Amino acid sequence: MTETASAPAQETPKGTPVVEARNIVAGYLPGINILNGCSLTAYPGEMIGIIGPNGAGKSTLLKAMFGLVRVHEGEVLLHGEDITNAKTNRLVEMGVGFVPQNNNVFPSLTIEENLRMGLFLRPKKIGSRLAAMWDLFPVLHERRTQRAGGLSGGERQSLAMARALMMEPSVLLLDEPSAGLSPVRQDETFLRTRRINQTGVCVVMVEQNARRCLQICHRGYVLDQGRDAYTGSGRELANDPKVIELYLGTLATDLDDEAPA
């Protein structure tokens, strides 16, 4: 069966959220807050999209959840446990994976070495995790002895995602995984991300390709000026007049036939 673009309908989310950001106030410089009370909840099994204008704070939100930007107010919870401002190493150990948009591989190391680095905390599992990644990313297997510096942008994104998956995270934070890719490669990236989600990994992805993101994610958040301005299913967001006015423009009409229920 051909894989379609839209996400399967998901029942109303239940249970303890896998990850939750509550009223986050955070910024890079003292006295200048970029996030001004921003919240996001991802329940087990969910794939969540974050969209919004440039500079809205989308990357900052992911970084605040991964301990890379200081949270001044609010809290970040992982399976109900407070992880606000926790160290990155600890978060990785606890099952949070993060793939930044840029500088996400070690260019002078080979593909396989990059993946091994991803599992430095649990060396005993190397064999089985490498096998799982070769299965998910056959192209990386073919080129496993080559240096990562020679990979294309899309291949680097795949490698960065594979490296984050080596630790078997329960949540994967992705910053613009499809950026800079051709439409075909973008599509592959979205479908692969959904396959990863279907293996039980909760996915929170920032996307500039709002149309595709709302089609494939269970729920979305529209960020504006450091706040979660709107949230809902892809279809709800795409049809919300305020969201259309703020961000989607004429996009919504195209979406109508394809958005998940």
Ligand X SMILES: Nc1ncnc2c1ncn2[C@@H]1O[C@H](COP(=O)(O)OP(=O)(O)OP(=O)(O)O)[C@@H](O)[C@H]1O
Here's the x/- map for Mg ion, 38-67, by CB under 5 A: it reads as --------------------xx--------
Question: CB of 227 within 8 A of CB of 244?
Answer: no
Given its phi and psi angles, is residue 15 left (phi above 0), alpha (psi -120 to 50 degrees) or beta?
left
> Under the criterion CB under 6 A, does residue 103 sit at the interface with ligand X?
no
> Under the criterion CB under 6 A, does residue 54 sit at the interface with ligand X?
yes
Instruction: Count CA within 13 A, CB hemisphere, residue 54.
Output: 0
For residues 136 and 191, give the distance between their C-alpha atoms in angstroms, rounded to a whole number. Answer: 12
> Under the criterion CB under 6 A, does residue 59 sit at the interface with ligand X?
yes
Instruction: Tell me the two tokens of residue 132.
Output: 């799982």
Here's the x/- map for Mg ion, 213-242, by CB under 5 A: it reads as ------------------------------
> Under the criterion CB under 5 A, does residue 104 sit at the interface with Mg ion?
no
Number of residues that bind Mg ion (CB under 5 A): 2
Q: Tell which positions 12-51 bind ligand X, by CB under 6 A.
A: 28-29, 34
Here's the x/- map for ligand X, 151-190, by CB under 6 A: it reads as ----------------------------------------
Tell me the closest approach of the beta carbon of residue 59 to Mg ion, in angstroms.
3
Place of tokens 């089609």: 215
Question: CB of 49 within 8 A of CB of 219?
Answer: yes
- State the CB neighbour count (10 A cutoff) for residue 125: 14
**Residue 34 binding: pick among ligand X, Mg ion, none (C-beta 5-8 Å cut-off by kind):** ligand X
Tell me the closest approach of the beta carbon of residue 85 to ligand X, in angstroms.
17
Tell me the closest approach of the beta carbon of residue 182 to ligand X, in angstroms.
20
Number of residues that bind ligand X (CB under 6 A): 11
132-138 contact pairs (CB < 8 A, 24+): 132/165, 133/162, 133/165, 133/166, 136/162, 136/165, 136/192, 136/195, 136/196, 137/161, 137/162, 137/192
Tell me the closest approach of the beta carbon of residue 50 to Mg ion, in angstroms.
9
Tell me the closest approach of the beta carbon of residue 244 to ligand X, in angstroms.
19
Among 58, 156, 219, 227, the residue binding ligand X under the rule CB under 6 A is 58
> Under the criterion CB under 6 A, does residue 64 sit at the interface with ligand X?
no
Q: Which amino acid is at 249?
A: G
Question: CB of 43 within 8 A of CB of 228?
Answer: no
> Under the criterion CB under 6 A, does residue 227 sit at the interface with ligand X?
no
> Under the criterion CB under 6 A, does residue 209 sit at the interface with ligand X?
no
Instruction: Tell me the two tokens of residue 74.
Output: 């609010």
Q: Which amino acid is at 47?
A: M
> Which positions lie near ligand X, rule CB under 6 A?
28-29, 34, 52, 54-60
Q: Which residues bind Mg ion (CB under 5 A)?
A: 58-59
